[in-house]
Amino acid sequence: FLGVIRGMALFLILLLIFAPELKVMWTINIKAKLIVAVDQSASMKIKDNGFKRITEAKSISKYIDEQIGAEYDLRFYAFDLDTSTIIPDSIKAMNLGTNIDLSLSNILKKHDDTKALILISDGIPTDGNNPLFSNYLKKTSIFSIGLGDTVSKPDVLIKNTRINSIV
């Protein structure tokens, strides 16, 4: 019995001399926040090549959700003259204009720690300032997905006219 006590005392003295460190570590995976902003203004009702722009925006949003939704903390927003949270299935075009600057500014004020934003829009602002001159662009990367056809359509052409020579 006395030998066991002496052995434990010797073990404790050696333990104090070598001073081992005990570290406990936990790993917590925090998903990066990614904002997806979808234009739902009236111009998104326009058809290009047989498809409405809003339908394309909805399918792109669903694709983003399915492909990278597990890796990122996705937040979906719809905007026109105002901004609201949405789910990709509920995107629909409204009868309002587009204020991209105010919408992006409001979204990024709510999520000031966001490093990236995906903007799905036809890029036709009808209200507000040009977002290129805003301060929030300095700390956030904005990746835009443009919708719509950029090819100009031919206008009305008058080939022949007949008029009276006497007026």
Residue labelled with tokens 């990066």:
32
Would you state the structure tokens that stand for residue 101, as one six-digit string? 């600057």
d(CA 152, CA 111): 38
In three-state secondary structure terms, 127 is coil
If you average pLDDT over every residue of the chain, what do you get? 87
Would you state the structure tokens that stand for residue 76, as one six-digit string? 């979906």
d(CA 147, CA 25): 47
Would you state the structure tokens that stand for residue 28, as one six-digit string? 């917590």
**pLDDT tens sequence across 110-127:** 988 888 999 999 887 888
Instruction: Indicate the pTM of the whole model.
Output: 0.73
Lowest mean pLDDT among 34-43, 62-71, 89-98: 89-98
Q: Quick one: how far is CA 75 from the chain centroid? A: 7
